[in-house]
Amino acid sequence: MQLVLVSGLSGSGKSIALNVLEDGGYYCVDNLPATLLLETIDFLAEAGHERVGVSIDARSAALPALPESLARLRSRGVDCRVLYLESSAQALLRRFSETRRRHPLAEAGLTLPEAIERERELLAGVAALGSRIDTSDLQPRVLQNWIRDLLGVGAESMTLLFESFSYRDGTPLDADWVLDARMLVNPHYDPELRPFTGRDRQIVEYLGRDQGVQRWLADVRSLLGHWLPEIVRENRSHVTVAIGCTGGRHRSVYLVETLAETFRAEWRVLVRHRCLSKQND
């Protein structure tokens, strides 16, 4: 099992770090009491989770025992990494002022500056356990990229959804890109092909022989191949490409299936056929 333990000062970006891990396929637990770390990891290991992210904050009473807990986990073969996020007092004061959130230690009757410094003292032992990132001058997007690079959480985590649809029903509201296939040759007008769908061999062979269809596919492959990596750099974890034709049964289905097969080696690919799903209901 791989365990990434995220800790640090409130307002320094722990939630951002945990979101990066979650987008990268980690099972994440937020604000876990340190006393429950060992039994939680045991439970998740038994449940089959191989990558786990856990955040622990200064309110956990068992922080002094954390080094021993990590040592015990490592002795069991768990690959443990600690990520500690911190910021200057000035940066934290500004962030709490902008968000108007209450500091977790403010309940102890401390002013905000006092709570920040008290939290820094409580977490000093944790800060010495792993990789430290000063987020004082980092924008959220930059911090996300730094964490990805540091922890090896790569772009392969993005989910790419291809969906076919009929223009008669309107364009899907969830689509990031909408591609029109209505200018391509239409099997609907061949009575022998009309009963089939873009998943059937007869349609696959028919459209596979058409030069216009193949040029369309080549252009879209080039477009997606170039721009998908750029989209990932913008920290997108999900992209939907909708392809439409008149009836949503032949051309768009074939194109979605073909493109999904092309990009399955690079991305986590999902396929959805709106019109075929309605027929099966």
Tens digit of each residue's pLDDT (9 = 90 or more) over 114-149: 999 999 998 988 888 888 899 998 888 888 888 887
| 92/74 Cα distance (integer angstroms) | 33
Least confident of 94-103, 133-142, 153-162: 153-162
Mean pLDDT for 31-52 is: 92
Residue 120 pLDDT: 92
Band (40; pLDDT cuts 50, 70, 90): very high
Residues 26 and 103 in one domain: yes
Residue 270 · residue 160 · CB < 8 Å: yes
Q: Which of 153, 169, 185 is the last residue of a domain?
A: 153
Least confident of 75-79, 106-110, 127-131, 162-166: 106-110
Q: What is the CATH number of the domain that holds 58?
A: 3.40.50.300
In the β-sheet with 131-134, what is the strand arrangement from edge to edge?
A: 27-29, 51-55, 2-8, 79-86, 131-134
Q: Which of 113, 138, 153 is the last residue of a domain?
A: 153
Residue 216 · residue 180 · CB < 8 Å: no
Residues 20 and 141 in one domain: yes
Residues 143 and 233 in one domain: no
> Which domain covers residue 194, as residue numbers?
157-280
Least confident of 63-67, 163-167, 212-216: 63-67
Least confident of 152-161, 171-180, 239-248, 250-259: 152-161
Centroid of chain to Cα 78: 23
- Contacting residues for 4 by C-beta, under 8 A, at least 6 apart: 21, 26, 51, 52, 53, 54, 81, 82, 83, 151
| 213/47 Cα distance (integer angstroms) | 46
Residue 114 pLDDT: 92
Residue 157 pLDDT: 57
pLDDT of 156 higher than 60: no
Mean pLDDT for 102-117 is: 87
| 56/34 Cα distance (integer angstroms) | 7
Residues 199 and 272 in one domain: yes
Residues 103 and 175 in one domain: no
Tens digit of each residue's pLDDT (9 = 90 or more) over 217-276: 999 999 999 999 888 777 677 899 999 999 999 999 999 999 999 999 888 899 999 988
Residues 184 and 98 in one domain: no
Residues 100 and 234 in one domain: no
Total structural domains in the chain? 2
| 8/121 Cα distance (integer angstroms) | 11
Mean pLDDT for 11-27 is: 91
Count of beta carbons in the 10 Å neighbourhood of residue 205 = 10
Residue 154 pLDDT: 60
The overall average pLDDT reported for the chain is 90
Band (281; pLDDT cuts 50, 70, 90): very low
What letter does residue 100 receive in the DSSP assignment? T
Q: Where are the alpha helices (DSSP H) in the chain?
A: 14-23, 37-46, 66-75, 89-99, 112-122, 124-127, 140-151, 201-208, 211-233, 251-263, 274-280
Mean pLDDT for 22-44 is: 91
Mean pLDDT for 172-180 is: 92
Residues 134 and 107 in one domain: yes
pLDDT of 49 higher than 50: yes
Residues 137 and 193 in one domain: no
| 255/216 Cα distance (integer angstroms) | 9
| 260/149 Cα distance (integer angstroms) | 27
Tens digit of each residue's pLDDT (9 = 90 or more) over 201-232: 999 999 999 999 999 999 999 999 999 988 87
Residues 171 and 254 in one domain: yes
pLDDT of 153 higher than 80: no
Residues 7 and 131 in one domain: yes
Q: Which of 114, 131, 153 is the last residue of a domain?
A: 153
Mean pLDDT for 177-203 is: 96
Angle of helix 251-263 relative to helix 201-208, nearest 10 degrees, comes to: 80
pLDDT of 100 higher than 90: no
Residues 149 and 161 in one domain: no
